[in-house]
């Protein structure tokens, strides 16, 4: 498995305040804009617009270098895999609630949906971090998978990237993504480690807990050596088109100001009616 470069030491405001030298305080290696010229990762932007696909452009801006054919195919697979699955996502509920209360623009609802994309709602960041951490132990796959399962069951009684509230035997998107990744030489060290973790957890629990989409995407993107922070962001962006479709549907066809009445599951668990001055 590929060794990752050490994280660059972060700058801090104190060093600038102490030195009075602010020359590199605002700096970026992503793009350069001057009068009549824009360079993105060193390339003139007009060349990129003319010659690259959306997938290739996104890879370049995130990773800093152009993807090869294999990387392009795998990254495109990641970008198109989210699709949608009705209301089985907290992100959809958050987005549609916001759209029902603010139908003037899709942007606040898009933000709400993305803000509701985290470790519980399908972000691939935590599975990727688990796999990257386990790969760094320099153990064989069986030992690493056993240690990973031990660690995550102790941390939060669940293993990232495995299990789904609806799809108990197999997550259809994850199955397809894994199969296509294998065909494109994209299911490498981290993917094989995830397979081993799935098997190890099944042995422990005595039942099958399948790889989910977040796990599959985390493995592919970890094998492509993306930063876990980018991998987490990809989870939100990957689902963004589905959110946009839901938001537009909510605004055009939905119910302004969504509520949760008792008939739809609202359940009060507080004390019965009481009044000030009454004996407890």
What tens digit of pLDDT does each residue of 154-185 get? 998 899 999 987 788 888 999 999 999 999 99
Distance CA 258, CA 181 (A): 40
β partners of residue 33: 38
Residue 161: which region, alpha, beta or left (left: phi > 0; alpha: psi -120 to 50)? left
What is the pTM assigned to this prediction? 0.87
Domain with residues 69-258, CATH architecture: Orthogonal Bundle (1.10)
pLDDT value of position 277: 87
pLDDT value of position 239: 87
pLDDT value of position 280: 58
The structure tokens listed for 53 are: 């696909």
The values of phi and psi at residue 32, to 5°, are: -140, 125
At which residue do the structure tokens 């987005």 appear?
95
Q: Which residues of the chain have pLDDT under 70?
A: 1-8, 280
Distance CA 259, CA 262 (A): 10
The structure tokens listed for 54 are: 């959306």
pLDDT value of position 3: 44
SS3 label, residue 34: strand
Distance CA 79, CA 25 (A): 33
Cα angle 186, 187, 191; round to 5:
140
Domain spans, the chain: 37-67, 69-258
The values of phi and psi at residue 7, to 5°, are: -65, 135
Q: Do residues 75 and 225 make contact, with C-beta atoms less than 8 angstroms apart? A: no
Q: For residue 270, what is the DSSP state?
A: S
pLDDT value of position 211: 95
At which residue do the structure tokens 């296509």 appear?
180
Cα 20 to chain centroid distance, Å, stands at: 39
pLDDT tens, position by position, 64-86: 999 999 999 999 999 999 888 78
β partners of residue 5: none
Where do the H-state alpha helices sit in the chain? Answer: 13-19, 45-51, 54-63, 69-80, 90-101, 107-115, 125-135, 141-156, 172-183, 189-205, 213-223, 228-238, 240-253
């Amino acid at each position: 498995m590929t060794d990752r470069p050490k994280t660059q030491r972060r700058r801090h405001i104190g060093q600038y305040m102490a030195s009075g030298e602010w020359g590199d305080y605002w700096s970026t290696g992503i793009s350069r804009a001057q009068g009549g010229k824009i360079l993105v990762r060193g390339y003139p932007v007009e060349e990129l617009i003319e010659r690259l696909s959306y997938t290739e452009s996104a890879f370049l801006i995130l990773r800093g270098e152009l993807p090869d054919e294999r990387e392009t195919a795998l990254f495109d697979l990641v970008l198109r895999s989210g699709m949608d699955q009705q209301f089985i996502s907290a992100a959809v509920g958050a987005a549609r609630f916001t759209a029902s209360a603010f139908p003037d623009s899709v942007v606040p609802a898009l933000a709400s949906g993305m803000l509701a994309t985290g470790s519980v709602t399908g972000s691939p960041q935590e599975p990727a971090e688990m796999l990257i951490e386990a790969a760094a132990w320099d153990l064989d796959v069986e030992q690493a998978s056993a240690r990973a399962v031990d660690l995550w069951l102790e941390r939060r009684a669940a293993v990232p990237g495995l299990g789904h509230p609806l799809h108990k035997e197999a997550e259809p998107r994850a199955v397809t993504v894994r199969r296509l990744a294998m065909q494109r030489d994209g299911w490498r060290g981290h993917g094989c480690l995830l397979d081993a973790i799935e098997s190890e957890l099944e042995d422990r629990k005595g039942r099958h807990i399948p790889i989910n989409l977040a796990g599959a995407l985390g493995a592919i993107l970890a094998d492509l050596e993306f930063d876990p922070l980018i991998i987490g962001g990809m989870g939100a962006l990957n689902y963004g088109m589905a959110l946009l479709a839901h938001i537009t549907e909510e605004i055009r066809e939905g119910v302004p100001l969504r509520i949760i009445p008792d008939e739809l599951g609202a359940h009060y668990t507080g004390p019965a009616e009481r009044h000030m001055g009454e004996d407890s």
